[in-house]
Chains A and B, each alone.
Chain A
Amino acid sequence: QKEVEQNSGPLSVPEGAIASLNCTYSDRVSQSFFWYRQYSGKSPELIMSIYSNGDKEDGRFTAQLNKASQYVSLLIRDSQPSDSATYLCAITEGGSYIPTFGRGTSLIVHP
């Protein structure tokens, strides 16, 4: 059974700092990796998807994937209080569209 592990946090960073969120997974055939942001009381919102090793940048967000080490991370540059939310890592294995979600990491950006 696939497992997706995230530190529940909270991760507290000052405004303007880089927030680093990590996710490890157990299934070596995992192919697709996603980061979602979920504000309290709201549904998840897709931030980034990454499919191949290396970095993928989108604005202040960078996803990093290392399949050999089985981890995927999300960096948030110039963190803002509005980035305070729970960040969910999700993974699908090849051929399956059904994702496995981690429990999420709570991020708090304080002014």
Chain B
Amino acid sequence: GAVVSQHPSWVICKSGTSVKIECRSLDFQATTMFWYRQFPKQSLMLMATSNEGSKATYEQGVEKDKFLINHASLTLSTLTVTSAHPEDSSFYICSARASGTSYEQYFGPGTRLTVT
């Protein structure tokens, strides 16, 4: 149980284009989903928290117009990196918290984004 998928697992795009990453909870309903970014050899950095049907809450320093998050259903959240630049190249990981009082998060396998 508690499986989270991400698609795509890796993507290469050209500078200036947009990329959409999907995060799905496969066997549970996710009240809350989180989006993280991780640069090589560095710790996880929380970008935003999204609750189903609500606008995402972004962490300080994260541009909401650049990283568009949509949590349309209890099993799907998407992150769109708009007008990507090489400095956006990173490992993007989503996680999901099940409905109810659970505090446990389950991570997706991550998406490696390379912007050329």
Residues of A within 8 A of B (CB): 31-32, 34, 36, 42-46, 49, 88, 90, 92, 97-99, 101-104
Interface residues on B, range: 10 to 19
Taking the nearest CB of chain B, how far is it from the CB of A9, in angstroms?
13
Q: How far does the alpha carbon of A44 sit from the alpha carbon of B44 in the complex, in Å?
A: 9
The majority secondary structure among interface residues of chain B is: strand
The segment out of B11-19, B67-75, B79-87, B103-111 that lies at the interface is B103-111
If A42-B109, A42-B110 touch, whether A98 touches B104 (CB-CB below 8 Å) is no
One digit per residue, 1 when the CB lies within 8 angstroms of any chain A CB and 0 when it does not, for chain B 85-116 equals: 00000000101010000011111111000000
Check B97 against A101 for contact (C-beta < 8 Å): no
- CB nearest neighbor in B for A34: B104
Given A31-B103, A34-B103, A103-B43, 5 additional A-B pairs, CB 8 A: A43-B93, A44-B44, A45-B107, A97-B49, A101-B46
The majority secondary structure among interface residues of chain A is: strand
Q: How far does the alpha carbon of A108 sit from the alpha carbon of B43 in the complex, in Å?
A: 18
Chain A residues, CB < 8 A from B93: 43-44
Interface presence of B25 (CB below 8 A): no
If A42-B110, A43-B93, A43-B109 touch, whether A97 touches B103 (CB-CB below 8 Å) is yes
Instruction: Give 6 nearest A-B pairs by CB, closest first.
Output: A32-B103, A43-B110, A103-B43, A43-B107, A43-B93, A44-B107
